[in-house]
Amino acid sequence: MIKKTTLLLFILLSLTKINAQYFISGQDPASVKWIQLKTEYFRVIFPEGNYFDAQLLANLLDTTFKASLFELNSHPVRMDIVLHTQSIISNAMVGWAPKRTEFFQTPPQDGYAQEWHKQLASHELRHIAQINKMNTGFGRVVSTMLGQQGAIGMVGLFVPIWFIEGDAVANETAVSKSGRGRQPLFEAGLRAQLIQKGYYVYDKAYFGSYKDYTPDPYELGYFMVAHNRVKYGAMVWEKPLDYVARRPFTLFPFTLGLKKSTGYGKNRLYKETMVDLYDTWKKEFDSVQYTKYERLTKPCKHYTDYRFPQYLPDGSIIAIKSSMDDQTRIIHIKNGKETILFTPGYILKQSLSANVNLVVWNENQPDLRWTNRDYSVIKKGNITTGEITQLTYKSKLFAPALSPDNLKIVASQTDTYGKHSLVVLQSETAETLFTYNNDSLFFQTPRWHPNNRDVVSVVVGRQGKSLIMVNTISGEHRFLIPFTFDDIAITAVSETQVFFSAPYTGISNIFSLSLETGEIQQLTSSAFGATDASINAKGRLIFADYDADGFCLAQMEPPQFLNKPVSISNKTDNFLADQLSKMSLFSIDGLRDSKKMFPVKNYHKISHLFKLHSWAPVYLDGLNRTGGLGASLLSQNTLGTMVAQLGYQYNLNEQTGKTVFNMEYYGWYPVIETGISSGLRRDRINHEGKIYDLKWLETEFNAGIKLPLNFTRDQWIRGMQPRVSYRLIRTKMDPSVGLDFKHNQTQSLSFDIYYYNYARLSLRDIYPRMGETFQFVFRHSPFDESPSQQTMVGMGFYFPGFAKHHGLKLFVGKQWYNDGDYSFSGLLNVPRGYTDIFYGGALTFNADYVFPIWYPDLDIPAVLYLNRIRGGFFTDLMYLEHPDLDKKISSAGMEIYSDWHFFNWPTPISLGVRLSHLFGRELLVPEFIFGINFSSIY
């Protein structure tokens, strides 16, 4: 019985942690006033002032919802939709504990040819259908037992992430004339890998690799889902989900359902899909004649991307370089030599422009406190001096481009009310010189004409994409091509031509558009994808060309151009995407805007503080990530500002239980936290030679205020959190015991501050290359008869090691302690290998040197996958201030970790061993180390 209970507890705790991304997605500023409207299936919650977008979204969701349920045989469910308007991140998410969908309204600069709200609806509504499918059969019993966390837990345990995202991408492609399934660069990674390197084993393709690039769950999942939907029928994926919902006790229900509908399990179906795709793509690959070009970047040992190249007048090149080996860099290539110019922060897509001695780009800058408010600021770098200047502050400007005379910058802007515009700024002062807007269009990647007056931009509207030319003096405009659902992306403009990438041939290639005649010509014929073209005064073209090792920089002279006239009406079909659309009974692009207006009313924060979403027949503490025997009720409101839990925790050792209530409120600038627990306690002691069985009532109350601040800028991830807390413990001994406590009440105050600052990590880094941490803690019990006091100061430092991805971490800490009635636990780690050390004051020093050993990508199909082995050496030293202990204890040793996936479970598991030599005791202490990284699922 205990084993079964422990297994159930482990699974439930796993479900809670698996879906940590759903737990709290962030908060909007406290000043936001929220409004709500209700439709047949949805309640849309939105900031005051965004009435138009909310009504548009509400009509679209109601009209689209049922079409997203069909192939999965799912059923409608009422859902809260929260519209976030102050973030520049183009994203959305579906959460199920509590149940809600969150839309972030800023469209992406590299988005496909469809309005943003339609993209979100067709993708996210499919996720609702997937998860709600779990509320059938035995899944309904699980949801009855566990609440909303039951459905999302079953998805997390049994449904592969590639299906979750791939099915949603397939849906967005099927119900529209666009979608990621029609973007050639979306498939370029898998296409190039299959043709140039072959298919990887399923585990490597699914879980990724530190050695090779692997397509993400969206790309892999789309081809797995779409190819087999076309091959086996529209309802092929209904059976696997149905098995998960009705037969989760089979442990591998998704695979069993797949075998019923296709005859294959996951691994075999993956192999068959890759073989089919290879056959199709290899025939296409062999049938095309490719243009010749000069490769400018040397092949790299590991996957590397060179993107957005720009010619300078002297013939040198500016580009963005990123790889799994290094941070993203802005580089300068001159005479074949590559040098690093700048290390940007979180650089946004489509954002590099260079001319003469200046480079501009835009970065994401987070708000100091509010997670759901951030900014896109423009940075300017001087190539000659290396100086970086921030031009704009608290802005929402995207894809900046320098004018030919370097005096102006044009950028796309989206405000908090969803209004889009082109903005021209003065390049020295960022003064706004010109604004152009159109209520029905969104602007992508504007580029200057050499006349220093006109700007050409991609625009996205109801009928897809077009190219617009705007006169920044008069405001006059003209469309250069008809609207199309093809995913075009402008890259450069010359006196007489516009250069852009497009999918007309089935592969992303570079095309030119004559400004005089409107004629379109194909310039490149790339094997896997060409994009990001730039042209110099001599007509020489530079672009990013893709292969299985990433984007390289390629250069073509005018005589090498293909110069093939293109008729848009005669473009290459996308067989897979077109078949999906033929199988669909619905088209989101054919919808007419509904004129229906839903009544609106205020959404009061105070009346929506609590929302019970889940429960469990075990004790779960989601705030502190702990659990045990007992029972739980879990609450989180839709806005993510209040988290609360009520539970009963049973102590198996003491055979007692206590009632626990914890709450955290994130809606104000400081976070308020409080909790109370009360219950019976037991213990046995020997007092003056007599054994006593103690039994007492213990009540604990705590309250605190913390302020999580985010100072992240440039390449540095930086933040600080000060915190003040109060704790009260009252005890009352049972009169039958015959003893009593010396003090029945103790109170303590705690003041602490934590600061961190470290460089961004590449995929392969174990530690940051540079960084520091600082922690200060002061705790005391001033109201006790004999007060206790504890102070701790700790500082940590990160340094690069002797080779790439090696790292050194140093830590020094000092604790002062004055003992009193109340005992505080130590805040410093004792040297590794020691387990019986209790101390008051202490000084400690730790040093760790870590390094990668091997990236084996070793698998036993459906059983295990090992993708990294890493090791390290350490030494720990501690000076103790305790009369009964040695003054100095120390240890040194080594650790080896291995990173695994077992039984196709998406969460990485680390298994390791540590061998510690205890100086003075002359002992070798072996330890087994186990860890689960739930944060890396997405």
Q: How many whole angstroms from its chain centre is CA 154? A: 21
**Amino acid occupying residue 274:** M
Tell me, what's the pLDDT at 935?
A: 63
Q: CA of 292: how far to CAs of 285, 527, 539, 677, in Å?
A: 15, 11, 16, 73
pLDDT at 5: 32
- Percent of the chain at pLDDT > 90 equals 85
Residues 6+ apart with CB under 8 A from 464: 113, 114, 177, 178, 483, 484, 485, 486
Query: Phi and psi for 287 in degrees, rounded to 5?
Result: -95, -5
Answer yes or no: is pLDDT of 399 > 60: yes
- Cα gap 80→103, rounded to integer Å: 11
What residues make up the domain containing 450? 294-571
Packing angle of the helix pair 217-232, 161-174 (nearest 10 deg): 70
Cα–Cα distance, 229 to 239 (Å, whole number): 12
The total number of structural domains in the chain stands at 1
Residue 60 lies in a domain: no
In tens, the pLDDT along 495-526 reads 999 999 999 999 999 999 999 999 999 999 99
**More confident call, 14 vs 841:** 841
User: 34: closest CA among 80, 83, 78?
Assistant: 83
pLDDT of residue 23: 63
719 within some domain: no
Of 619-623, 632-636, 760-764, the poorest mean pLDDT is in 619-623
Is residue 427 within 8 Å of 380, Cβ to Cβ? yes
By the 10 Å C-beta count (0-12 exposed, 13-18 middle, 19+ buried), 754 is classed as middle
> Beta strands 656-665 and 642-651: pairing type?
antiparallel
Q: Tell me which of 622 and 806 has the higher pLDDT.
A: 806
Question: C-alpha angle 638/82/95, rounded to 5°?
Answer: 60
DSSP assigned state of 606: G
Model pLDDT, residue 832: 96
In a domain, residue 481? The reply is yes
Query: Model confidence over 705-720: pLDDT tens digits?
Result: 999 999 999 999 999 9
| pLDDT tens sequence across 176-201 | 999 999 999 999 999 999 999 999 99
Q: Write out pLDDT tens, residues 667-681.
A: 999 999 999 999 999
C-alpha neighbours within 13 Å on the C-beta side of residue 455: 32
Residue 519 phi/psi, 5° resolution? -70, 140
What contacts 402, CB < 8 A, 6 or more positions away? 353, 354, 355, 358, 360, 408, 409, 427, 448
Provide CB contacts within 8 A for 456, sequence distance 6+: 446, 447, 449, 467, 468, 469, 470, 480, 490, 493, 498
CA-to-CA separations, 319 to 411, 444, 538, in angstroms, rounded: 19, 19, 19
Maximum distance among all Cα pairs of the chain, rounded to whole angstroms: 105
B/e letters for 1-28, b = 16+ CB within 10 Å, e = fewer, are eeeeeeeebeebbbbbbbbeebbbbbbb
Residue 445 lies in a domain: yes
Q: Is the pLDDT of residue 934 over 80?
A: no
- Give the mean model confidence (pLDDT) for residues 527-549: 96
Q: Which residue(s) pair with 815 in the sheet? A: 792, 842
- How many CB atoms within 10 Å of residue 567? 8
For residues 25 and 510, what is the distance between their CA atoms, to the nearest angstrom? 39
**Which helix (H) or strand (E) is 391 found in, with range?**
none
Measure the CA–CA gap between 340 and 786, rounded to whole angstroms: 61
Let me know the angle formed at the C-alpha of 915 by 914 and 918, rounded to the nearest 5 degrees: 130
> Span 641-651, mean pLDDT?
95
| CATH code for the domain in which residue 306 is found | 2.120.10.30
Task: Specify the range with the lowest mean pLDDT, choosing from 294-298, 484-488, 651-655, 875-879.
Answer: 651-655
Do residues 872 and 893 lie in contact, with contact meaning Cβ atoms separated by under 8 Å? no
Alpha-carbon distance of 388 to 344, in angstroms, equals 9
Q: What is the pLDDT of residue 14?
A: 40
Write down the H helix ranges in 718-765: none
Q: How confident is the model at residue 834 (pLDDT cuts 50, 70, 90)?
A: very high
* pLDDT score of 594: 76
pLDDT band of residue 593 (cuts 50, 70, 90) is confident
d(CA 294, CA 288): 19
pLDDT (tens digit, 9 = 90+) per residue, 59-95? 999 999 999 998 899 999 999 999 999 999 999 999 9
The answer to whether position 204 is within a domain reads no
Q: What is the residue-averaged pLDDT of the chain?
A: 93
623: exposed, middle or buried (Cβ count in 10 Å: 0-12, 13-18, 19+): middle
Domain-embedded: residue 916: no
Chain segment 430-473, per-residue pLDDT in tens:
999 999 998 899 999 999 999 999 999 999 999 999 999 999 99
pLDDT at 9: 36
Q: From residue 687, how far is each of 107, 680, 820, 825, 862 by CA, in Å?
A: 71, 21, 21, 24, 58
The pLDDT value recorded for residue 19 is 36
Which pLDDT belongs to residue 6? 33
**b/e map 235-265, b = 16+ CB within 10 Å:** ebbbbbbbbbbbbbeeebbbbbbbbebbebb
Task: Inform me whether the pLDDT recorded for 257 exceeds 80.
Answer: yes
Residue 590 lies in a domain: no
Mean predicted confidence (pLDDT) in 845-858: 98
Domain assignment present for residue 839? The answer is: no
Q: pLDDT at residue 8 above 50?
A: no
Number of H helices, E strands in the chain: 14, 49
pLDDT tens per residue across span 739-779? 888 888 999 999 999 999 999 999 999 999 999 999 999 99
According to the model, what pLDDT value does residue 2 have?
35
